[in-house]
Structure 1
């Protein structure tokens, strides 16, 4: 329960931070006539909505409902993260298309001084929020997704700051005509770069939603435990299925027994289950563990 409260607190920090940045970014962007700053503010605004969605989903998952959700509610976690990833991808593609239009129209005149000041403030504040979330370690995919969003926002703000510094320098040279292209060029580059993180989130959580095999580390731990049990009790064949959904790792192992197997009754079966459970140490996850025994392999195919 303490871990759940810890994760909830982190999500609330993310919500408050997103609210602050969305108001500041959109307002400042309009005043400075900067599409880049408006993009930053819109990203924070969308992050606010997504953070609220994560907070609601997190609270919903914590409420037990064994009658309706007999396998738990963990599937809600990748489902929400997939939605978040799709929303960020859509925003990046929209920003990319608008930046192309601005470039073709000859760029955009921006109040460089106020824009650079915003970028400096935003970069510092983003670093602070990201560090807070990063230091509060958590195994929740919700919290990891929020931290990834803040890392993206930190990179975005840093890129904006660098771009406006370059524009201020160019404005004092014979290349001042290029300054109008700085803002849409930054939007174009940042929106393309940002696509990488949500695409990874989308792929990873789609695999969980489809109950595909988990990471190789998890599979290796399970395989090692299975091989030890087979060697100890002279079991010739096993059928092992593993997947990860949210915080829960589902492990189903079916041992096919033969005449040479040295376990034959329920007490011995339970002993193998206990040994197997003790060998698996997957921190930060809940194990849903099923270990079955049969002499007829047709029941496990």
Structure 2
């Protein structure tokens, strides 16, 4: 299955979970289930946005037709859209979780709320199975795809599965309380589990937002920079150049590399095939996915052009 087809499947299943959560949450009186439904609804919207960006990125690696119009509008590719989507998605989820936590605290202060445990348990069981199933399938698939968008979606399914698993445990605990005659504590189950879940899920999108912001700001990935520098130093020594300058950025699934070699003043004039063959050798040693690599290799005799 391709990235686009997986995201379509994920969108449909997420929409189903969202509808179930909102309807059953309102019917059973559970704010935690309603939160789960709203969370899934926002996740579905973000999956749809991720699907759109994924199709654009795929189109940007093609030639002719619609790809030509895309290249004309985005000369340097559309990879920058990927971290933007990831950052926006993460901030939306953090905002929803924060709002849910405040509501949960207010619910506890007001004495909790009654919840119909039977439909709540049914929802938690079915949703937990769906979420863990999508998480397992997406994780296996992304071992082959290596997509940031699929990875984000898989983490979203893990978060949803964790939320519903916590709900399931809490509602089972409610039945146990009812069995042992501790019914006075049952109204507190829903707001307490909502508070715990909303706090627990915030760190996951927070890490995604942090990484996405690093890519948006084009902070240099040190491991890739070290590799490019090692390749460049090898050719400076081999060819007798005066030095080099390397500029590296990672944006989503793409890497952008500019490599400038400074030639000595007495360097002989060589035919263009020589420079092209040298670029091919350097590019091969740097490696990476050609469809998602923006590599520029320049040879100059003036150091100020490279700085």
Taking structure 1 as the reference length, the TM-score comes to 0.90
**Whose helix proportion is higher, 1 or 2?**
2
State the distance in 2 between where 1:92 and 1:74 align. 28
- Equivalent of 1:89 in 77, 94, 99: 94
SS of residue matched to 2:71: coil
- Please tell me whether the aligned partners of residues 253 and 290 of structure 1 are also in contact (alpha carbons under 8 angstroms): yes
Report what 2:179 is aligned to: 172
Q: CA deviation at 1:260?
A: 8.6
SS of corresponding position for 1:171: helix
CA–CA distance in structure 2, aligned partners of residues 234 and 178 of structure 1? 79
**Structure-2 separation of matches of 1:234 and 1:109:** 79
Report SS of the residue matched to 1:67.
Answer: helix
CA-to-aligned-CA distance 1:80-119 (integer Å, 9 cap, x gap): 2222112111111111111011011111221223322221
Residue 229 in structure 1 maps to residue 225 in structure 2: no
Pairing 1:7–2:7 present: no
Q: Match of 2:283?
A: 277
Query: Residue 289 of structure 1: which of 280, 287, 295 is its match?
Result: 295
1:300: which partner in 2?
A: 306
Contact 1:36/1:187 (8 A) holds in 2: yes
For 2:214 and 2:5, the matched residues in 1 are separated by 28
The CA deviation string for residues 247-277 of structure 1, in whole angstroms up to 9 with x for no partner, is 2211001112236979966444323311111
Q: Distance in 2 between matches of 1:285 and 1:187?
A: 44
Give unpaired runs (5+ residues) of structure 2: 60-65
In structure 2, how many angstroms separate the alpha carbons of the residues matched to 1:19 and 1:75? Answer: 27
Aligned to 2:224: 218
Is residue 15 of structure 2 the alignment partner of residue 19 of structure 1? yes
Task: Kindly report the root-mean-square deviation, in angstroms, between the aligned alpha carbons of the 2 structures.
Answer: 2.2
Query: How far apart are the structure 2 equivalents of 1:284 and 1:38?
Result: 45
Tell me the matched-pair count. 296
The answer to whether the aligner puts 1:157 opposite 2:164 as a matched pair is yes
Distance 1:230 1:144 in 2: 38
Q: Does 1:98 align with 2:100?
A: no
Whole-angstrom CA distance in 2 between matches of 1:238 and 1:263: 19
Where structure 1 has 5 or more consecutive residues not aligned to the other structure, the ranges are: none
Relative to 1, partners in 2 of residues 1:29 and 1:263: Cα closer, same or farther, differing over 3 Å?
A: farther
1:247 aligns with 253
Q: Tell me, yes or no, if the aligned pair for 1:233 and 1:261 is still in contact at 8 Å.
A: no
User: TM-score when scaled to structure 2?
Assistant: 0.88
Superposed displacement of residue 12, structure 1: 0.4
Q: Which is further off, 200-209 or 38-47?
A: 200-209
Work out whether residues 233 and 244 of structure 2, in 8 Å CA contact, stay in contact via their aligned partners in 1. Answer: no
1:123 matched to 2:128? The reply is: yes
Q: How does 1:52-71 map to 2 (within 5 A)?
A: 52-61=48-57, 62=59, 63-64=66-67, 65-71=70-76
CA distance in structure 2 between the partners assigned to 1:96 and 1:29 by the alignment: 17
